Amino acid sequence: MNFERQHIVPRSYLRRFATKIPKKKRYQIGVIDKSGRAFSQSIDNVGYVKNYYDTNCREDKKHWEHYFANEIEPHYGRDLDLIITKVYMSQPETVILNEYDKKMLTIMMCFQIMRNPQYIDRTIDDMPQFIDGFKKGVIKQNPWLSPEQVRLIKRINYSKDKCKDELLKIITDNERYERFTNELSKKAWLVLFNPYSDRFPFYTSDNPVTFCYLNNDIPTSFGIGRNDTLIYYPLTPSIMIAIYPPYLLLSDMISISGTLKVLKSNDIYFIANMNYHQICNCYEHAFMPVRSLKYYEIMRKG
């Protein structure tokens, strides 16, 4: 395995939007760049940043890439397979997501957000201010410290490499995901099935979790616990997870959270709007099935 091409979105996830080319033993996917240009490419050649998760402060500088491959990315295979199978085997309006499904989806979504370079780079840039505040707090809370000890604390500093390693350590903290799971359990989950995916599929991207806010006050963090947050996560061109504040739906919606909803023809605008968000919010590329490239070009040309 090539551990230099470090995928910021797992290939096991991208395969669900791709077409298998048996003779070439690869998966081909439709790609849209930020300029709107569309083309076809192997999933091996997109959705990665070379050596992005390397840190030189560990004996194995590819420690985090190995961790992602062994501990996180298997969820995008077996757990997603089970959820997708249940979607295709279930009738509309039935509850298909159990608590374990929601927990696994929460891990996938939140980890995907925090592993993205947009999130990591922004957080690292903010770290010097955080560290400075932390040092001041330690000094203030320990007035017995000697002048020499205070000087030593003030000299403490982290390199960008060390900041990245510490941040990745925080990102992979299991207790953090327990809190995320608890927050999202209070919301209403829907599984949206798109029967028009041959011509109007759900797109995805290298930053696939979409946050929408009912208020214009967009938070600096991703605001997972806010009551005005709507979250969308495409699993395949036909299936999307939607998470809403329960007050937006029926009063008893939280009690039937995990329901399968089939979209209707008047929801095509919703599909187009979700795809627009994927293109606008991507790190470098949005993705669609190869078969949809021709429809995309027709719509783009008007």
Of 70, 51, 73, 72, the closest CA to residue 62 belongs to 51
Q: Where along the chain do its domains lie?
A: 5-301
Predicted local distance difference test score (pLDDT) of residue 300: 75
| CA–CA distance, 89 with 93 (Å, rounded to integer) | 12
- Residue that is written with structure tokens 């002048």 in the block: 147
pLDDT at 285: 96
How confident is the model at residue 250, as a pLDDT? 53
What pLDDT score was predicted for residue 183?
A: 87
| CB-count burial class (<10 Å; 0-12, 13-18, 19+) for 165 | buried
Are 230 and 212 within 8 A, CB to CB? yes
Which segments within the chain are labelled E, that is strand?
5-7, 19-21, 26-33, 38-42, 48-50, 188-193, 204-205, 210-213, 229-234, 239-244, 259-262, 285-288
CB atoms within 10 A of CB 199: 12
The pLDDT of residue 248: 64
Count other Cβ atoms within 10 Å, centred on residue 141.
8
pLDDT for the residue numbered 104: 92
Predicted pLDDT of residue 136: 81
Mean pLDDT for each consecutive 10-residue tract of the chain (302 residues)? 82 93 86 91 93 89 88 84 94 91 92 90 82 79 84 80 86 87 88 94 96 69 74 96 77 66 93 94 95 83 66
Q: What does the alpha-carbon distance between residue 44 and residue 22 come to, in Å, rounded to a whole number?
A: 15
Please state the pTM of the whole predicted model: 0.87
